[in-house]
Amino acid sequence: MKKIAVFTSGGDAPGMNACVRAVVRAALYNGLEVVGIRRGYKGMADADFIPMESHSVSDIIGLGGTILKSARFDEFRDIEWRKKAYENCVKEGIDGLVAIGGNGTFTGAKLLMENFGIPTIGCPGTIDNDLYGTDYTIGFDTAVNTALDAIDKIRDTAASHDRVFFVEVMGRDAGFIAMQSGIGGGAEDILVPEIPDTIDEVIDNLKKGGYKEKPSHIIVVAEGEEIGNANFIAQKAKEALPNLDIRVSNLGHIQRGGSPSAIDRILASRMGIAAVEGLIAGKSNVMAGIIDDKVAYTSFDDAINKKKPLDVELNKMVEILNS
Amino acid sequence: MKKIAVFTSGGDAPGMNACVRAVVRAALYNGLEVVGIRRGYKGMADADFIPMESHSVSDIIGLGGTILKSARFDEFRDIEWRKKAYENCVKEGIDGLVAIGGNGTFTGAKLLMENFGIPTIGCPGTIDNDLYGTDYTIGFDTAVNTALDAIDKIRDTAASHDRVFFVEVMGRDAGFIAMQSGIGGGAEDILVPEIPDTIDEVIDNLKKGGYKEKPSHIIVVAEGEEIGNANFIAQKAKEALPNLDIRVSNLGHIQRGGSPSAIDRILASRMGIAAVEGLIAGKSNVMAGIIDDKVAYTSFDDAINKKKPLDVELNKMVEILNS
Amino acid sequence: MKKIAVFTSGGDAPGMNACVRAVVRAALYNGLEVVGIRRGYKGMADADFIPMESHSVSDIIGLGGTILKSARFDEFRDIEWRKKAYENCVKEGIDGLVAIGGNGTFTGAKLLMENFGIPTIGCPGTIDNDLYGTDYTIGFDTAVNTALDAIDKIRDTAASHDRVFFVEVMGRDAGFIAMQSGIGGGAEDILVPEIPDTIDEVIDNLKKGGYKEKPSHIIVVAEGEEIGNANFIAQKAKEALPNLDIRVSNLGHIQRGGSPSAIDRILASRMGIAAVEGLIAGKSNVMAGIIDDKVAYTSFDDAINKKKPLDVELNKMVEILNS
Amino acid sequence: MKKIAVFTSGGDAPGMNACVRAVVRAALYNGLEVVGIRRGYKGMADADFIPMESHSVSDIIGLGGTILKSARFDEFRDIEWRKKAYENCVKEGIDGLVAIGGNGTFTGAKLLMENFGIPTIGCPGTIDNDLYGTDYTIGFDTAVNTALDAIDKIRDTAASHDRVFFVEVMGRDAGFIAMQSGIGGGAEDILVPEIPDTIDEVIDNLKKGGYKEKPSHIIVVAEGEEIGNANFIAQKAKEALPNLDIRVSNLGHIQRGGSPSAIDRILASRMGIAAVEGLIAGKSNVMAGIIDDKVAYTSFDDAINKKKPLDVELNKMVEILNS
């Protein structure tokens, strides 16, 4: 292996830059050349390559977003576009790829591998933490702390006005952000897709809360909650409990940005190095994750198809902590 | 004057606790007794008084929200309730009031004054900064920095994906938060109620932006913008420019919370002291503000009725800074 | 078991309040009474007990420091004082203890257990992360992020002036904070007690750095580094390389404070619940830690005497990441 | 005027990048060419010029430090070096200069003006706020908030251990940072060079504090305090009051870094625009400041030689707020 390429794809996550930096520096450390591909698979198809030197990644470890940019590129499902992308890589002399992203990113990489055999290793970069094969994904800890900071601020105003807030956080298919930010923020209730809830339970819980000395009440709702979104649930609660002062806050895209936390920077650095070392060692078609604080390579198949379970014991904690 | 009361009313704002602390400590410094009234005019009508000692306000200078809580109390428009409130004050031996809040708070205070003559001074506490008689209100600087931090985070993800974001910030009648956080966040456009805008101008500006090297684009929209809210404007923009990737983020109630900034703590402390010193000096029916870095007392009438202008020169800056 | 007591002891750490809250709420959830002991063993000897209700711990999950306070109490090494403390506990009807702290705290608890048999479980609360029997201690993640935030700020000014900074972080016996904040901050060198270093190596590394395009250089030094403290090493470096602009920053006590991170709040909550559940299940003389994301009880003996190793692979990363 | 240059010099301050951006964009807006000079006067003497386009300053408004870098360059006191710098400017076709920095920067600019007549306007960039001719300097508000955040953290640990902390903040000749961060942090005492203090007063104040319910005590000390530095004063206090647990924290260079606050970004933007507009209008040898929220040009002579007074009324507030 003489020259590798690195790219980011899918939704951006804080720490992607730290991972890009680690890939570049680890490649140089091991005597490889390295190029960046701008805007993921789109840039691969457009031959949007930029040579990366050590200084290309100076001082980016603390930046949110991704200097290599990301983009949707549905055309990549079409083998003709994948072929074009592959040929661009060959022309550029690229022997291996490091793909930083989530499920969709790895699916693209897997198809490219299967069609053309270019060695590829993935690094799990998504705030949602919904990837099998790693305890945490790059960006998750930062997103949780961003959501927590917002919940703390909402608690200030909720407590001042004795209000109920439904706070919607990201997580289309998974409740990891909701669960962690909810417990951290002392939420009175947390609604996630992994755990069946009903409107009646939410309302019962609100009624119970009303008798306590502390009448402010925060319910964290994951984007993918099956009852409905925060607005819908809040509306139902208002109808059932018209005396309560109920508000909704949807945290939205702030959860994707910001300077990465220590954990995300270290995680991203470890994974980036592991991806390069894996490629050199002849690994491919795998994701470089961290399980129980050790590097672990998981096949793209498993990373894509297996479901990472949410620890439901955490939900039990919510009940205990609100006693 | 022997005993005063302090309360917070209306929407809470970061720094209200710093102001409560200053009122309490300044009262004690001047040999006065001081009580807190919980939940504003509602607590006054309910005789919900709590004696305040020096330690009652220890370590609250950095807390968001208000330890005295706030509440809506529309009944206060009814003189019978005001009478009850006044009688409770008399029973408690209260000679003077410090009312921390905004327009509605001062209107209540003015009515109480006019009906029963109890000396009252207001401190401007509202994140919106829309009060005549003070350069800045308590909570404004913190809210601006909270909005700015959110815009910075949104910029990270907008730049990574070449996206356009409409970011809605608070300010029902005034564009102060929008203008300051927008300039601070390097916004490409800022829409405030004080300046007439049209959808066409917004779209033209977006088109111009599209030709530049940096395709991410952030438009900050004040809650009170006359064209419509951020969702509405974004919808119009999507229709006109379907190729752009346009998103909306409504920052919501996070802008009300959080630990106050240095400026808000100092401002609140100065105003709280000025209110107590004003009461002792025989002033009443006025708001204690800061103009050109000096304490200035403005009649409740002017504070309530006069409109604080937004510096439109700032809007000119937006154009220059996007050259 | 009918009534337990909780206290914090030793150096305070962010998240101790979250742990106190969890102990109180878990006790109430399980039908136990619970009291807080102020200022650790000193308060136990002085019978400084306060009854804890659910609302006693409302809204403290996000507060730094410890509402139960902490204190040095060397007299506790004397059995007479321990006897007094024990008798106060008996008088108060206390059946079990939860001790939140570090090595010294657990040593005191162990002696009390051995002398008088009162069931005790510890929760690891120390920013240093130097306790065997848990992957992370309460306060560590927050302290690392505080140090990282400081290093980021120092990087700004170092890069602007092409300066070298020696940044001293806490960790009297262990390099965990230094290693994590150093990697997160992109440090060019990290000096910890667990890894032998020499002044010559530090200077050689500085020389190498000087040839690179990015002349700013940050060396993170753990308090317990064996060569000497940051001032000493910086002095040696100045003598060897008089042309470099070398500065020192000792981060000091800011690392002990601040609102705990999400991880610290959750960790503290889990440990506090585990301590109470452990007591109820008849466990004692153990610390409730988290290993590989599962609750694990470790004997006080092991927690106190065994050394938690620093992952030296991390140091290898520093070299790779500076290629 | 056809082409101007911008540079930063002296100690860096958060917001300098926002000012550079404003100068570049305002120049382009007005049809001027603009170059950046790296490392201030040193770069001028070395002809280290870089052309600045609109995108050269994209996304720098929120970055700490200065992308143009800064450097000491004592040689500039020598007219031969100034001549060389001037000739480089002429060769580059530079008609006007914008100098961002403090006292030393303006002194250099003034000499260059007097010798060679190149039109120059300064923007006040220094965290110390010690410049006559502007209410606030670029970087001051951010530095105050950084110091305040540190003091809040120290308060957490001070309160937990009933400790006394002497916290040293920057300000070699002026107490602005100390006064603002001290009041904001609820300091029990603030020592600044502008107000005469004695060790005895400090100790008396500490004794008084000891009788209060809240035994933690924070004394903020400006770097330039005439009694001595924080270590010295703390040592004297320890000798006089051996029973107190007294600690010292020197905040150091973290105060120079970090993402600028909203106020600093806006201030820097206004000043940068005002500098360019001033040059175009034929102004020179002046600093562009903001007084009472309006742009004001002050001669370099006054900016350099006149002393900006600290509002001593603020010190009175400290006494009141600790009642």
Give the separation between CA D123 and CA D103, rounded to whole angstroms: 11
Lowest mean pLDDT among A275-289, C62-76, C235-249, D201-215: D201-215
Does the distance separating the beta carbons of A65 and B256 come in below 8 Å? no
Non-local CB neighbours of D56 within 8 Å, separated by 6+ positions: D24, D36, D50
Q: What's the pLDDT score for residue A212?
A: 55
Give the separation between CA C154 and CA C246, rounded to whole angstroms: 12
Interface check A184 vs B, CB under 8 A: no
Average pLDDT over every residue of B97-118 = 97
Q: What's the pLDDT score for residue C213?
A: 54
Known binding-site residue numbers of A? 11, 21-25, 72-73, 102-105, 126-128, 155, 163, 170-172, 186-188, 212, 214-216, 223, 247, 253-256
Amino acid at A72: R
A70 neighbourhood in chain B, CB within 8 Å: 160-161
Interface check B157 vs A, CB under 8 A: yes
C261 neighbourhood in chain A, CB within 8 Å: 145, 148, 261
How many C-beta neighbours within 10 Å does residue B162 have? Answer: 17
D142-256 fold? Rossmann fold (3.40.50)
Q: What's the pLDDT score for residue C209?
A: 67
N- to C-terminal Cα separation, chain A: 59
**CA B295 from centre of chain:** 18
Amino acid at B299: S
Over 60: is that where the pLDDT of B210 sits? Answer: no
Give the separation between CA A55 and CA A72, rounded to whole angstroms: 28
So which residues of D are the catalytic ones? Answer: 128
**Same topology for domains A3-139+260-305 and A142-256, yes or no?**
yes
Q: What's the pLDDT score for residue C314?
A: 92
Burial C225-236 (b: 16+ CB within 10 A, else e): bebebbeebbeb
Over 80: is that where the pLDDT of A196 sits? Answer: yes
Which chains have 3+ CB pairs within 8 A of D?
B, C
Helix (H, G, I), strand (E, B) or coil at A221: strand
Candidates C20, C152, C157: best to mutate against D (most CBs of D within 10 A) is: C157
Candidates D216, D220, D266, D267: best to mutate against B (most CBs of B within 10 A) is: D266
Strand partners, D114: none
Mean of per-residue pLDDT scores for chain C: 96
Chain A: nearest CA to C171, how far in angstroms?
17
Chain D: residue nearest C151 by CA? D254
For tokens 């990837």, name the residue: A131
B212 neighbourhood in chain D, CB within 8 Å: 54-55
Of B65, B146, B249, the CB nearest to A253: B249
Give the separation between CA C85 and CA B30, rounded to whole angstroms: 44
A158 neighbourhood in chain C, CB within 8 Å: none
Q: What's the pLDDT score for residue C210?
A: 54
Interface check A145 vs C, CB under 8 A: yes
- Look at strands D33-37 and D3-8 and give their pairing: parallel
Over 60: is that where the pLDDT of A269 sits? Answer: yes
Interhelix angle B262-280/B16-29, nearest 10 degrees? 40
Sign of the CA dihedral with A158 first, then A159, A163, and A165 last: positive
B contact residues 204-243, partner D, Cβ 8 Å cutoff = 212-214
Chain D: residue nearest C256 by CA? D157
Chain C: nearest CA to A304, how far in angstroms?
23
Average pLDDT over every residue of B256-269 = 98
C69 neighbourhood in chain D, CB within 8 Å: 159-162
Q: Looking at this predicted complex, what is its ipTM?
A: 0.96
B69 neighbourhood in chain A, CB within 8 Å: 159-162
Q: What's the pLDDT score for residue B209?
A: 67
pLDDT beneath 50, residues of chain D: 211
CATH architecture designation of domain D3-139+260-305: 3-Layer(aba) Sandwich (3.40)
CATH of B142-252, one of 3.40.50.460, 3.40.190.10, 3.50.50.60, 3.90.1010.10: 3.40.50.460
Over 60: is that where the pLDDT of A68 sits? Answer: yes
Strand partners, D164: D217, D246
Over 80: is that where the pLDDT of B270 sits? Answer: yes
Mean of per-residue pLDDT scores for chain A: 96
Q: What's the pLDDT score for residue D72?
A: 87
Structure confidence by residue, pLDDT tens digits, A255-267: 999 999 999 999 9
Q: What's the pLDDT score for residue C214?
A: 59
Helix, strand, coil in percent for chain D, rounding step 5: 45, 20, 35
The radius of gyration of chain B from alpha carbons, rounded to an integer in Å, stands at 22
CATH of C141-256, one of 3.40.50.150, 3.20.20.70, 3.40.50.10860, 3.40.50.460: 3.40.50.460
For tokens 């001719």, name the residue: D133
A48 is catalytic: no
D323 neighbourhood in chain B, CB within 8 Å: 25-26, 28-29, 54
Lowest mean pLDDT among B117-126, B308-317, D48-57: B308-317
What are the boundaries of each domain within chain D?
3-139+260-305, 142-256
Does the distance separating the beta carbons of C253 and D250 come in below 8 Å? no
Q: What's the pLDDT score for residue A270?
A: 98
Candidates C63, C148, C316, C319: best to mutate against A (most CBs of A within 10 A) is: C148
Give the separation between CA A159 and CA A216, rounded to whole angstroms: 5
CB-neighbour burial class of residue C240 (10 A; exposed 0-12, middle 13-18, buried 19+) = middle
Q: Which two tokens stand for residue C99?
A: 């001790």
- Determine which one of C128, C130, C189, C197 is catalytic: C128
D155 neighbourhood in chain C, CB within 8 Å: 65, 257
So which residues of B are the catalytic ones? Answer: 128
- Listed residue (A91, A95, A102, A133) closest to A40, CA to CA: A102
Chain C: nearest CA to A17, how far in angstroms?
12
Give the separation between CA A156 and CA A162, rounded to whole angstroms: 10
A64 neighbourhood in chain B, CB within 8 Å: 153, 156-157
Q: What's the pLDDT score for residue C212?
A: 54
Structure confidence by residue, pLDDT tens digits, B180-204: 999 999 999 999 999 999 999 999 9
Size of interface B-D (CB pairs under 8 A): 125
Q: Which two tokens stand for residue D186?
A: 């609820």
Say if residues C223 and C169 touch (Cβ distance below 8 Å).
yes
Of B71, B159, B256, the CB nearest to A157: B256
- Taking CB atoms within 8 Å and a gap of at least 24, the contacts of D208-211 are D209/D164, D209/D322, D210/D241, D210/D244
Does the distance separating the beta carbons of A64 and B156 come in below 8 Å? yes
Non-local CB neighbours of B180 within 8 Å, separated by 6+ positions: B144, B148, D262, D266
User: Percent of chain B beyond pLDDT 70?
Assistant: 98
Structure confidence by residue, pLDDT tens digits, C279-305: 999 999 999 999 999 999 999 999 999
- Determine which one of A12, A74, A95, A128 is catalytic: A128
Alpha carbon separation from A161 to B68, B71, B122, B124 (Å, rounded)? 10, 6, 20, 18
Non-local CB neighbours of C25 within 8 Å, separated by 6+ positions: A320, A321, A322, A323, C54, C57
Does the distance separating the beta carbons of A156 and B257 come in below 8 Å? yes
Q: What's the pLDDT score for residue C220?
A: 98
Interface check B74 vs A, CB under 8 A: no
D contact residues 253-312, partner B, Cβ 8 Å cutoff = 259, 261-263, 265-266, 269-270, 273, 292-293, 311
Over 60: is that where the pLDDT of B281 sits? Answer: yes
Which chains have 3+ CB pairs within 8 A of A?
B, C
Does the distance separating the beta carbons of D257 and C155 come in below 8 Å? yes
* Residue C40 known to bind ligand: no
Average pLDDT over every residue of C176-193 = 97
Does the distance separating the beta carbons of A66 and B153 come in below 8 Å? no
How many C-beta neighbours within 10 Å does residue A78 have? Answer: 10
Residue C72's φ and ψ, nearest 5 degrees, are -75, 145
Non-local CB neighbours of D42 within 8 Å, separated by 6+ positions: D48, D71, D72, D73, D76
